[in-house]
Amino acid sequence: MNFQDFMVKWQGKPVDFDGVFPNQCFDLAHQYVYDVLGLTNKTILAHPSACQIFDNFTETDYFDKIENTPTGIPLEGDIVVFKCTSALPFGHVCIFVEGDANKFRSFDANWPTGSLPHIQEHTYGYCAGWLHPKSIAPDLQSQLDQTRLERDRNWDWFTSVCTALGVGANVDAAVNEANKLVANDDTLVQKDKQIQELQTQLTDLTGQFNTLQTNHEKMRVEEAQLAVQASDLKAKFQQAENQLTEALGKLALLQQASQQPVLTGWRKLIMDFILKF
């Protein structure tokens, strides 16, 4: 396992290497020595306090002891040790990731107190020095070099993402924003599902509307045909009514004529004469 894999594996997870006091900075350092450096002897770097692994250093077969100086800069994978002070009664230990002569970033546990493994920024205040592993064989060194290249690329990508998210180079803030994006994505998936359901309903309603519109057009045509038929019937009715009126008039004349006396002989001659004058 390389250092990059180690950080991915233990990021945000409690480490209890010795089974005594969980999630101490010492637990993470021992786990690193065991997982990455392959030193399976658990007594290596075993001391009551973190600062004593530097003050009482004896593991010269495995590490180079390097004192902190104003211009000194650890290498990736070096174990950085802080002195025991009133503020740090047991000191502190972490694994160097990157930095310069003024400040650096490292993989830490229990800094601040109770925190799980994460990337932490430090200055060199109270830093006693660091232990540089000797046990990295040439092939492991090649892997480390490759890991550094990948780390640089990943770091550039990470800072670009953080810049886009507006959170700065902050892992926790970036994770929180990423979780928000995931939650938003879940919300969008649900909204998309709702939209698809609404689109299906809209398609169904459109089909129903088209059917109603077709039926309405048929009824409109039928209504127009009925109007034409009604107009023809009205004309025929009017014609029949006129014929009936004419017949009734003729009938009335016949009735009137039938009620007048019939003149014959001398009476008809006398009446005709009278009418002439």
pLDDT in tens, 153-202: 777 777 787 788 787 767 777 778 778 877 877 788 888 888 888 888 88
CA distances from 187 to 173, 176, 178, 182 (A): 21, 16, 14, 9
Pair 164, 91: CB distance under 8 Å: no
**Per-residue pLDDT band at 244 (split at 50, 70, 90):** confident
- The pLDDT of residue 138 is above 50: no
User: Distance between CA 268 and CA 123 in Å, rounded?
Assistant: 155
Nearest to 75 by CA among 51, 99, 44: 99
Higher pLDDT, 217 or 70: 70
Q: What is the DSSP letter of 72?
A: -
- The pLDDT of residue 103 is above 80: yes
Pair 14, 22: CB distance under 8 Å: yes
Pair 113, 122: CB distance under 8 Å: no
- pTM over cut 0.85: no
Nearest to 115 by CA among 87, 92, 85: 92
The whole-number average pLDDT for the span 71-99 is 95
Higher pLDDT, 69 or 190: 69
User: Distance between CA 76 and CA 144 in Å, rounded?
Assistant: 9
The per-residue pLDDT of the chain, averaged, comes to 85
- The pLDDT of residue 59 is above 80: yes
- The pLDDT of residue 229 is above 60: yes
SS3 call for 70? coil
User: Distance between CA 149 and CA 76 in Å, rounded?
Assistant: 12
Nearest to 172 by CA among 208, 239, 118: 118
Kindly report the CATH number that applies to the domain delimited by 3-136. Answer: 3.90.1720.10
Q: Two tokens at 71? A: 């211009």
Q: What is the largest CA-CA distance in the chain?
A: 178
**Per-residue pLDDT band at 120 (split at 50, 70, 90):** very high
Nearest to 120 by CA among 132, 131, 110: 110
CA distances from 26 to 38, 46, 106, 211 (A): 17, 9, 14, 77
Residue 132: phi and psi, rounded to 5, are -100, 120
Higher pLDDT, 210 or 128: 128
pLDDT of residue 135: 63
Pair 117, 74: CB distance under 8 Å: no
Q: What is the pLDDT of residues 6-54, one digit of tens each?
A: 999 999 999 999 888 899 999 999 999 999 999 989 889 999 899 999 9
Pair 41, 184: CB distance under 8 Å: no
- Where does 124-231 show beta strands of DSSP type E? 127-133
**Per-residue pLDDT band at 254 (split at 50, 70, 90):** confident
